[in-house]
Structure 1
Amino acid sequence: MSSMESQFKIKFWGVRGSIACPGAETVRYGGNTSCITMRVNGHLLIFDGGTGLRVLGQSLLREMPINASMFFTHSHWDHIQGFPFFVPAFVPSNTFKIYGAVAPNGSTIEQRLNDQMLHPNFPVPLQIMGADLTFYDLAVGEAVEVSKGIKVENALLNHPGEAVGYRVSWQGLSVAYITDTEHLPDRLDENVLWLARNAELMIYDATYTDEEYYSEKSSKVGWGHSTWQEAVKIAKEANVKKLVIFHHDPLHNDEFMDQVKEDTANEFPNSIVAWEGLEIDVMTIGKEPPVILSAT
């Protein structure tokens, strides 16, 4: 078995939420919006198509032809705006299977990706893309086997307009990708716990801190996002081995994220704040010592 066929690796190409925020204050963590890849047993899985997808596309040009599966959590702009700039989708030799749940208004992921590329929003239509694009409508709760032994499950998240989270499993290892969800006021979300159950790794939407979320002056309740404190509660209750804080607020600069990193690690030692370019080998989780940061 080759090294590509015995791996389970994750890479982060965009870690922000809401809007891309490049600049001097976001250099270390990055300013692109949501996009990650999982390379599992030789198969490439892409999750979300925020502006980080453009960066991923430039990297993939060295690997063509590409055969990959793409999964969208939902179609808010920060999760799809990179798709029209995803160069491999314009190359005829490439193949992409594209999955997404049907929106509450009945629109499919194909319709929503198509609509953002219509005039006056974009100069060329989706149909100009030369790659083999096949779209699949996911039912909430439906499990998909993208390749032998690689299972992708989904569950509904608490987000305006609806979104789904994903759980990828292979050879007894699991990763939960839970972005764009708001924690419940009186209990832990059963869908989130189910996605994260005993996972080696949980990637979680921690856009805010509790202080911001419950602020009397500018409350974020009802905005569809969660906090790092809730991420820790979920990670502990679901018996997650490693926690990744994700979907950073565009107002949170590098220094702010450094503090989030320290605070989270104090509560859940085996945690990390995602940055663009971060790579994690799922097969080594639990075998490396946890990083413990002392409070200053």
Structure 2
Amino acid sequence: MSNTQNQFTVHFWGVRGSIPCPGPETVRYGGNTSCIEMRVGGDRLIFDGGTGLRVLGQYLLSQMPVDAHMFFTHSHWDHIQGFPFFVPAFIKGNRFHIHGVKSPNGATIQQRLNDQMLHPNFPVPLQVMASELKFYTMQVGEVMRIGEIEVENALLNHPGEAVGYRVSWRGHVAAYVTDTEHYPGRLDENVLKLAQDADLLIYDATYTDEEYSSPQGSKVGWGHSTWQEAVKVAQAANVKKLAIFHHDPLHNDDFLDRVGEEVAQHFPESLMAREGLSIQLASPPSELEHNPEHSLSKAKV
């Protein structure tokens, strides 16, 4: 069996929230918005289509033909704005299975991706994409299977609604829990369910506790959480490794360095998500030494 069929790898292509923030102060962590890729047992799963998806698309041009599953948490701009610039979707011979739940007004993920590419928002419609696009509407709480892979979703606490995902394969688990706001005084049962015993929890920690409840500019009700809450979830759910994700565009590299130090003091098995990071959840030992597939930095859980 090939190495790719034995691996479970998580790649970070976009780690910011709200809006891209390129510039000299965001070089180390990156300025692209949400996009995660998981390569699981030979299958490629992509979570969210922020501007990081454009960068992933450039990489995939050397991997064609591409057959991948794409899962969207919701359709706020920072999670879909890379889709119209995803070059592999314009190339015949590629195939993408696109999954999402209905929005509160009943719109499907197909409708929402289509609408953002209509005039006056974009020069060409979604129908120009020459790849095979297959759209699927998931139910909230649904568990779906792709071969040996199990993908579960759960509703999160976010304006307009969003879902988080739990990906399980051969006893390994990665949880992608972004764009969710914690509840005061208690942990969200849906978040705990997604994160329980996960090898890796990717969690929305846009703010610090001080920013979240600041009298000068409270973020209560904005739909995002804090690194302090991330630690509470990771501890309660017996998570092996915690990735702080969905960084605020106002948080520069130095600020995120300091956050990372504080998180590590409370949860040593933690890291700050950054563009280019690759985490191996399951992989043949020789692959780390001999696989020159890409130049992403690697960390093993």
The residue aligned with 1:283 is 282
Cα distance in structure 1, aligned partners of 2:282 and 2:219: 36
Give the Å deviation of 1:105: 0.3
Structure 1: which 5+ residue stretches go unaligned?
A: 292-296
Amino acid at match of 1:249: D
CA contact 1:269–1:290 (8 Å) conserved in 2: no
The residue aligned with 2:210 is 211
The residue aligned with 2:236 is 237
Structure 2: which 5+ residue stretches go unaligned?
A: 284-298
Cα distance in structure 2, aligned partners of 1:87 and 1:244: 28
Cα distance in structure 2, aligned partners of 1:186 and 1:230: 10
Amino acid at match of 1:255: D
Cα distance in structure 2, aligned partners of 1:205 and 1:150: 24
Q: How do 1:120-199 residues align onto structure 2 when only pairs under 5 Å count? A: 120-146=120-146, 148-199=147-198
The residue aligned with 2:94 is 94
Cα distance in structure 2, aligned partners of 1:145 and 1:168: 10
- C-alpha distance after superposition, 1:68-119 (max 9, x if no partner): 0000000000000000000000011100000000000000000000000000
Amino acid at match of 1:54: R
Cα distance in structure 1, aligned partners of 2:215 and 2:266: 25
CA contact 1:70–1:97 (8 Å) conserved in 2: yes
CA contact 2:29–2:275 (8 Å) conserved in 1: yes
Cα distance in structure 1, aligned partners of 2:211 and 2:50: 24
Over aligned residues, Cα RMSD in angstroms? 1.2
- Tell me the TM-score normalized by structure 1: 0.95
Cα distance in structure 1, aligned partners of 2:57 and 2:180: 27
Amino acid at match of 1:224: G
Aligned residues: 286
The residue aligned with 2:287 is none
- 2:18 maps to 1:18: yes
3-state DSSP class of the match of 2:25? helix
Moved over 6 A (4+): none
Amino acid at match of 2:276: G
Give the Å deviation of 1:283: 2.2
3-state DSSP class of the match of 1:203? strand
3-state DSSP class of the match of 1:38? strand
3-state DSSP class of the match of 1:164? strand
Amino acid at match of 2:135: F
Amino acid at match of 1:241: K
Amino acid at match of 1:48: D
Amino acid at match of 1:7: Q
Q: Percent identity?
A: 71
Cα distance in structure 2, aligned partners of 1:211 and 1:194: 27
The residue aligned with 2:6 is 6
The residue aligned with 2:64 is 64
Cα distance in structure 2, aligned partners of 1:27 and 1:163: 29
The residue aligned with 1:75 is 75
Q: How do 1:261-280 residues align onto structure 2 when only pairs under 5 Å count? A: 261-280=260-279
Give the Å deviation of 1:186: 2.3
